[in-house]
Amino acid sequence: MPTDFYSSYSAYKDYCSPSLAPKDIQRFDVEIWNPAAFSSALSCLEIGCGTGEFLTYLAHKGLEGFHGIDHDPDLKEVQNPEVASKFECMDVWQYLEGCGENKFDRVVLLDVLEHFSPEEGFRLLSLIKKVLESKGKIILKVPNAASPWGMNYQFGDLTHKTPYTSESLRQLATACALNVERVYDQKRGSRRRLITNAIVHKFLSWALLTPPSLWGANLYCILSPK
């Protein structure tokens, strides 16, 4: 009988309400807001919003038309009061298929796509495409399976089904008739750490026969409709 690791997921993750420090705001600015050309006038759906850290960030940035969904009812208890009304515990398939005429300018999936099989990922992005405005964007973050630094993120969670590289993200996007606007790695740490990482990665790229195109432990990908 298959084991349902989601039944114990809240205990494993030990959910708690997120705090939004200035460094977190700066990180989301650099990693998502600026690259995906966000503005406070846009609407945004976050799929798999977890404890609501990014929802809290969107509220801080002045967005009003945003919504977050997740399948785990335990997450409702840890949402910050300012975004609790924007959170809905709901099955993603049921939600997307019931959106009707509702459209979003931005759809965000942070550490979500890897929880689905490739076939489910195709179905998920295809459904998201239907609820996306014509000039909308999908923002994904996944562990980078091409980098040795991404392996712990990918295989440290037994609910992860599919590892992704920049190339397999492009393959999935092509199958869904989506444009890949940009793929870039997440850069975290102090300025000194970032410089050290850049030096190490430059040496490894020279020393290895087939180095990854991106070394970061996690990848961001921005998609748009064709």
> Buried b vs exposed e over 42-77: b needs ≥16 C-beta within 10 Å?
bbbbbbbbbbbbbbbbbbebebeebbbbbbeeebee
* Percent of the chain's residues with pLDDT above 90: 93
Confidence of residue 101 (pLDDT cuts 50, 70, 90): confident
- Of the candidates 173, 153, 174, the residue with the CA atom closest to the CA atom of residue 163: 153
Compute the average pLDDT of residues 103-130.
97
- Among the four given CATH numbers 3.40.50.1820, 3.40.50.150, 3.50.50.60, 3.40.50.300, the one describing domain 15-225: 3.40.50.150
Question: Chain-centre distance of CA 151, in angstroms?
Answer: 17
CA pair distance 137, 141, nearest whole angstrom: 13
SS3 category, 154: helix
More confident residue, 141 or 2: 141
Encoded tokens for 47: 């799929």
Please give the share of the chain, as a percent, with pLDDT higher than 70.
99
Domain ranges of the chain: 15-225
Contact of 132 with 138, CB cutoff 8 Å: yes
In this prediction the pTM is 0.94
